[in-house]
Amino acid sequence: MTSPARPAAVVVLAAGEGTRMKSDTPKVLHELCGRSLVGHVLAAAGRLEPAHLAVVVGFQRERVAAHVTGLNDRIVPAVQDQQLGTGHAVRCALAELPDLDGPVVVLNGDTPLLTAETLQALVTTHVEAGNAATVLTASVPDPTGLGRIVRDAEGRVRRIVEHRDATPEERTIAEINSGMFAFDAKHLRAMLDRLTTDNDQGQEYLTDVLGLLVEEGHPVAAMVAPDYRETLGCNDRVELAGLRALLRDRLVTAAMRAGATVIDPASVWFDVDVVLGRDVVVHPNVQLRGATVIEDRAEVGPDTTLVDTRVGEGATVVRAHALQAQIGPEASVGPYAYLRPGSVLARKAKVGTYVETKNAQIGEGSKVPHLTYVGDATIGEHSNIGAASVFVNYDGVKKHHTTIGDHCRTGSDNMFVAPVSVGDGAYTAAGSVITEDVPPGAMAVARARQRNIEGWVERRRPGTAAADAAAAARRVAGGEGTVEGSIPPATTDIPGSGQ
């Protein structure tokens, strides 16, 4: 089997400001589905394995250059000091590259739906036909404002005409120029040197290269994109939102075809690096972002956001938010849970309603059912954390660790003041503030002894509904204890009574 043709270079045009975005961020750095616009283009281009990969930068050049080289350290940024047109931009790129022999692919930096398969087909078509230039075109429903592909009677490409310069007959042409090309390197260099700025924009147009090649009798052809949407770019945030929705639909469709169930595709959002296993169920209003992985038979949602999180086989996550967390097989999370970075749940662990975890390891079968904060902690296997507990991990300067052993039962409304540990099989009483280590198998009680101050309400809150209820209760009791008119004097007030 013949290996796919590899380009000598890919040049990505990313120098423009994108003024219609009305943003301090360069247009190509705006994001959709987990990547920047230019990041999507570079991902597709990278799969062609070009010998050289250059990105033309201009507006906020340092920021754009740092971004693209962070994605791929092989990328060569080429600076276009002045925005003098697409032809000038390609000349700036070639000036940074060695002499090339073979196809050079030129792409726009704002076409995130472009696929590697279409690019490979463009290069293969170009090489096998022996063309000097091959333009990627598309047949679009509404070509208004776009450059038209003008062919001769035999269907050969003759030139590209801009909408404003097109005749009424040419404006009826539905085949448009995508702005993406494959060129023979030597012909491209020669024709770029002949470009002029003799046009109403005063710029060097890359499209003029095709006309020059045709004039000299070199073969120029077109390849029609299999789906015109691959060629769509964006000029403003409305168009960006449209591209985002199209990409979302593509990603969700691919997940369903691979064996996942998505209950309401229109309400979920996946990033491009998300991985879903077989028989996964995704309920409405779910966002899966970053490098999130959902393993086989897991169930996510509704109303859930997972970022860079792994969900194990058969786990369930309901109405939860997780960031850089690991949820083990058959574990249960939510509803209304927040897993912060470093949260690791083992098999069949549970993090329940209104629970927040951070840098916490929760062992197999252990449960944190409700109303609890677990930070900087290790919980062993098959332990249960009582409701309304707080792992007090911060002393104002440093974070400290709490360890709960295996098969522990901690009471409701506990405070674990770190650093502290609770041994295997130990219990802690409700309402305890645990400041010292608890030995294995011990019961820790750390609370003040209860005192009842008889008659306090009727003495301190006379005339209130509470005082009337207390008096009535004593009367019903048949005069047991104190009776009306004989409430003993108080010897102690309770703290915080306001008296």
Active-site amino acid positions: 370
Distance CA 231, CA 209 (A): 20
Q: Are 307 and 325 spatial neighbours (Cβ–Cβ below 8 Å)?
A: no
Consult the annotation and say whether 110 binds a ligand: yes
Consult the annotation and say whether 373 binds a ligand: yes
> Number of C-alpha atoms within 13 angstroms, CB side, residue 334?
20
Consult the annotation and say whether 131 binds a ligand: no
Distance CA 394, CA 388 (A): 18
Tokens representing 11?
């040049």
Q: Are 105 and 118 spatial neighbours (Cβ–Cβ below 8 Å)?
A: no
Tell whether omega for the bond before 77 is within 30 degrees of 0, i.e. cis.
no
Distance CA 133, CA 399 (A): 63
Distance CA 42, CA 54 (A): 10
Residue 31, H or E segment? strand 31-32
Consult the annotation and say whether 14 binds a ligand: yes
Task: Tell the residue number behind the tokens 């009535």, with chain if given.
Answer: 472
Consult the annotation and say whether 205 binds a ligand: no
Q: Are 313 and 298 spatial neighbours (Cβ–Cβ below 8 Å)?
A: yes
For residue 48, CA distances in Å to 12, 37, 179, 254 come to 13, 18, 19, 22
Q: Which of 143, 145, 153 is nearest to 173 (CA)?
A: 143
Q: Which of 386, 356, 350, 395 is nearest to 373 (CA)?
A: 356
Distance CA 369, CA 4 (A): 56
Consult the annotation and say whether 427 binds a ligand: no
Q: How far is CA 149 from the centre of its chain?
A: 38
Task: Tell which phi-psi region holds residue 167, choosing left (phi > 0), alpha (psi between -120 and 50) or beta.
Answer: beta
Tell whether omega for the bond before 462 is within 30 degrees of 0, i.e. cis.
no
Consult the annotation and say whether 16 binds a ligand: yes
Q: Are 351 and 333 spatial neighbours (Cβ–Cβ below 8 Å)?
A: yes
Consult the annotation and say whether 13 binds a ligand: yes
Q: How far is CA 271 from the centre of its chain?
A: 5
Beta-sheet pairing, 344-345 with 350-362: parallel
Consult the annotation and say whether 27 binds a ligand: yes
- In sequence order, which ranges of 183-236 are alpha helices (DSSP H)? 185-192, 207-215
Helix (H, G, I), strand (E, B) or coil at 341: coil
- In one-letter notation, the amino acid at residue 467 is A
Consult the annotation and say whether 72 binds a ligand: no
For residue 415, what are the β-bridge partners?
390, 433
Consult the annotation and say whether 387 binds a ligand: yes
Phi, psi of 98 (to 5 degrees): -70, 175
Consult the annotation and say whether 386 binds a ligand: no
Consult the annotation and say whether 147 binds a ligand: yes
Q: Which of 245, 290, 20 is nearest to 145 (CA)?
A: 20
- In one-letter notation, the amino acid at residue 496 is G
Consult the annotation and say whether 430 binds a ligand: yes
Binding residue numbers? 13-16, 27, 80, 85-86, 110, 147, 162, 177, 235, 340, 358, 373, 384, 387, 393-394, 412, 430, 447
Binding residue numbers for acetyl-CoA? 387, 393-394, 412, 430, 447
Binding residue numbers for UDP-N-acetyl-alpha-D-glucosamine? 13-16, 27, 80, 85-86, 147, 162, 177, 235, 340, 358, 373, 384
Binding residue numbers for Mg(2+)? 110, 235
